[in-house]
Amino acid sequence: MEGMRSREEGERSRVVARMIADSSFSQCWFKYGLMHKCHWRWMWLIVALLVLAFYYFGVSSSMLLSGVEKDVLAVNLKDGGHSRRTAYSRSREVMEQVYHSTDIFQRSFKEMEEKFKVYVYPDGDPETYYQTPRKLTGKYSSEGYFFQNLRESRFVTNDSAAADLFFLPVSCHKMRGKGLSYEKMADIVRAYVESLIIKYPFWNRTVGADHFFVTCHDVGVRATAKVEHLVKNSIRVVCSPSYNGSFIPHKDVALPQVLQPFPLPAGGDDIHNRTVLGFWAGHRNSKVRVNLADAWQYDPILFVANNRLNRSTGDYIYQNQFYRSKFCICPAGSQVNSARIAESIHYGCVPEVIMADFYDLPFNDILDWRKFSLVVREREYDNLKKILQAVTVQKYRMLHAGVRQVRRHFEWHSPPIKYDAFHMVMYELWLRRFTIRF
């Protein structure tokens, strides 16, 4: 009897082996029953594949979650399945809100990391060729971080044939220190660009449309503005994105001006501490700022001062106001830049951006600014308080969560890290690698 059973089991084993080899899963299922060991092998295989699939899609979906959303997930996962689903859906919702298209951004960003190559011109006039300072601080720090990060990145190639774009390492920082006039600076920049055109064949192939340069202060913007073929044809990465100042949205890039290091740490989940409706302090150096100060400087629930408060010493009055305020008013100045916007985002204060007409916001192609800021036109300054008071608690929570989500995009690091300001600028350039040729 035992011999027959042994032979029968042997026969079954051979049949099962043939079935597995022939992928005859259905025959194994029906002939030997649900609990047979061949079925368990298939079940383990299916379970393993499902686990891998869930892991893959889970990683893909949570790749863009910021630290705050991951913290929310960690806390809520302790409370069981319902809280898990709720926490994940809320985090996913915040993530999807701040981007025009999360999926497109994620896929294209990954492709950029793998394929994007930039050729940096190796020589230049010492007067114009950028030299990274020992400390990256002040209003020139954004362009300084970009130059340094690019040189240290994997995007740089020495093979011009493999390059998607060509970088002109021109800077007016050193020239400004020598007290040169804008006319003299423009002459030096023009001579440098023309020397590259003569020495290398790359510019003439596209009339400079696949070239770009970076300048974050009005000095560089004004000095390069007079080099007509540089402004018209090449990609300008600038902190003064004025359409009236030859900024072309589909071609040029708005660079976020960030004054790092920040004196105080980033704001957190601190909505309950924000008791001031709106805050602004600065110079009256533009029409909108004059109107803003005249209309609201004596208002009891708005903190509007028509002079610049101390920003780096003493009790950090200026920075502490960012912690206390729900909205931080960011009016255009004499030279439009985004330093105050970056400060607001760092401290967790929802930016209320008062835009002069024809200005672009940083990363506007990627980020949906309506999901983490209020953007109003210059003519609406006299309705400022009414606009802020009309924001519901639910909407403010959404805006505040969005601010914390996008914060990493407005921070510079050395070396750079994924999704920081450097990578976002590179992504903007990546999107323009097929820009219209002039």
Domains of the chain: 1-62 (no CATH), 112-256+417-431 (no CATH), 271-410 (3.40.50.2000)
Per-residue 3-state assignment (H helix, E strand, C coil) for 24-79: CHHHHHHHHCCCCHHHHHHHHHHHHHHHHHHHHHHHHHHCCCCHHHHHHHHHHHHH
Tell me the sheet residues that pair with 1.
Answer: none
Q: What is the pLDDT of residue 438?
A: 47
Q: Which residues of the chain have pLDDT under 70?
A: 1-96, 123-140, 173-174, 176-177, 217-220, 240-245, 307-316, 333-338, 355-358, 435-438
d(CA 320, CA 298): 20
Question: CA 154, CA 165: separation in Å to the nearest integer?
Answer: 14
Dihedral class, residue 348 (left if φ above 0, else alpha if ψ from -120 to 50, else beta): left
The pLDDT, as a whole number, for residue 88 is 41
Is 197:166 a contact under the CB 8 Å cutoff? no
CA–CA distances in Å: residue 211 to residues 59, 121, 137, 237, 430: 36, 10, 27, 11, 12
Judge contact between 196 and 121, C-beta under 8 A.
yes
Predicted local distance difference test score (pLDDT) of residue 87: 43
Residue with token string 């008791």: 275
Amino acid 167: pLDDT: 94
Beta bridge partners of 215: 238
63-122 pLDDT, tens digit each: 455 444 444 334 333 444 444 444 444 445 555 689 999 999 999 999 999 999 999 998
At residue 73, the pLDDT reads 38
